[in-house]
Chains A and B, each alone.
Chain A
């Protein structure tokens, strides 16, 4: 396990069990299920950050939600070698196998499934037209620092790094226009909070992308 930011940690899981081979499609998630001594359960969905492999390992990046039931347990209690119950992979809508031109828009922790897509695209040759935009509050909130490539634009809503010509602020049409112009008939994948996904999806539609070409995954609290 390793920290992505002050509040997000990536867990590499080895999948145990007969015949258990992870063959997810980028964008899918696993459910992590915890069972208390009294038998009650809690479960949350966490997006897969790693690309699909032939191996039996998968990486989940989990943001710590302060009053959450599951994420504080994973952050504070889990040690290397512990076992947790996983179910998955699940999801058949917010998935991309690098087979169509794509615009990936992520806000905050919403970049996790987009990184699985980006990793898969990159390792399979990167031939499909792709643009990625990541929106973070401050530079230190960016997940997977150093791994994003020239296909990716990072925008800052509260504080930009010194020298960034863009004034900090929420996503605008001007941020998106050059990305859409570079992509023939793309599908947009938008992931993040309800506020980010609503704003970003309305923007791309206002810039001419047909609504059926927009796929949204909204990360709720928990």
Chain B
């Protein structure tokens, strides 16, 4: 199999999961849908499904929640990783706590204002593992990167970090989302290289 010149002997950054490369200061845009006309004024975020009380936050209400952010790396299934970047917004834990997650909830489906969906085990988006973010490296999140606000689940491939996030629905079962119905892995752990179904 492919051998020869590939590799070039350069030292590989140990922050890179297998098969990934460092995209440096760039931040590639990959989207399957038309970017929506979404602004802070018409954005909202909803938590419903298996919760004590479904809740919806508008831009102002979301910004009144405790600020929380992430500093570290992100990994796209198309094989780029962006190392040492930062996002800020509010922890998904905070939203979930205000809605009150029922004990039978095991999974969430995150959905976008465009209709995009992605599924996640509840344990992968709680305990400081997921955020709703509206700033990237100190500036408002640009529309092409999911602004005004996106989900951020940096431990998983970035298709799980739904752009233009509209809400999460708590479920007692797994329900495959947009890419997961189309051949991509249910979980998407970059360190296990779970790109496609069956990986």
* A35 pairs with B1, CB closer than 8 A: yes
Residue of B nearest to A197 (CB): B31
* A198 pairs with B35, CB closer than 8 A: yes
* A77 pairs with B181, CB closer than 8 A: no
- Interface digits, B156-181 against A, CB 8 Å rule (1 contact, 0 not)? 00000000000000000000001101
* B80 pairs with A220, CB closer than 8 A: yes
Please pick, from B4, B19, B28, B31, the residue contacting A77 in the complex, using a CB distance under 8 A. B4
- Interface digits, A52-92 against B, CB 8 Å rule (1 contact, 0 not)? 00000000000000000110010011000011110100111
A87 CA / B183 CA spacing, docked (Å): 13
* A198 pairs with B183, CB closer than 8 A: no
Interface of B, secondary structure class, is: loop
Please pick, from B12, B32, B115, B183, the residue contacting A90 in the complex, using a CB distance under 8 A. B183
* B144 pairs with A40, CB closer than 8 A: no
Say whether, besides A69-B21, A84-B2, A90-B196, A37 and B33 are in contact (CB < 8 Å): no
Say whether, besides A42-B19, A69-B21, A211-B114, A37 and B30 are in contact (CB < 8 Å): no
* A91 pairs with B33, CB closer than 8 A: no
Say whether, besides A90-B196, A93-B182, A222-B21, A216 and B2 are in contact (CB < 8 Å): no
Residue of A nearest to B76 (CB): A220
A16 CA / B28 CA spacing, docked (Å): 33
* A85 pairs with B1, CB closer than 8 A: yes
Instruction: Assess whether B85 is interfacial by the CB under 8 Å rule.
Output: no
Interface size bracket, A side: 35 or more
* B183 pairs with A91, CB closer than 8 A: yes
Residues of A with C-beta under 8 A to B18: 40-41
Residues of B with C-beta under 8 A to A220: 28-30, 78, 80
* A44 pairs with B79, CB closer than 8 A: yes
Min CB gap A135→B, angstroms: 18
Chain B: how many interface residues by the 8 Å CB criterion?
A: 35
Instruction: Assess whether A21 is interfacial by the CB under 8 Å rule.
Output: no
* B182 pairs with A91, CB closer than 8 A: yes
Within 8 A of B (CB), among A185-222: 194, 197-198, 201-202, 205, 211-212, 214-218, 220-222
Please pick, from A38, A42, A212, the residue contacting B115 in the complex, using a CB distance under 8 A. A212
Instruction: Assess whether B127 is interfacial by the CB under 8 Å rule.
Output: no
* A218 pairs with B182, CB closer than 8 A: no
Please pick, from A76, A84, A215, A222, the residue contacting B79 in the complex, using a CB distance under 8 A. A222
Residues of A with C-beta under 8 A to B196: 87, 90
A211 CA / B116 CA spacing, docked (Å): 12
Say whether, besides A35-B2, A38-B7, A73-B6, A214 and B34 are in contact (CB < 8 Å): yes
Say whether, besides A41-B18, A77-B4, A217 and B32 are in contact (CB < 8 Å): yes
Please pick, from B4, B19, B78, the residue contacting A41 in the complex, using a CB distance under 8 A. B19
* A218 pairs with B23, CB closer than 8 A: no
Instruction: Assess whether B103 is interfacial by the CB under 8 Å rule.
Output: no
Residues of B with C-beta under 8 A to A76: 5
**Can you list 17 A-B pairs, Cβ within 8 angstroms, ordered by A?**
A31-B195, A33-B19, A34-B2, A35-B2, A41-B19, A42-B79, A70-B6, A82-B2, A85-B1, A93-B32, A194-B30, A197-B31, A211-B33, A211-B114, A218-B28, A220-B29, A222-B78
Residue numbers of A with Cβ under 8 A of B are 31, 33-38, 40-45, 69-70, 73, 76-77, 82-85, 87, 90-94, 194, 197-198, 201-202, 205, 211-212, 214-218, 220-222
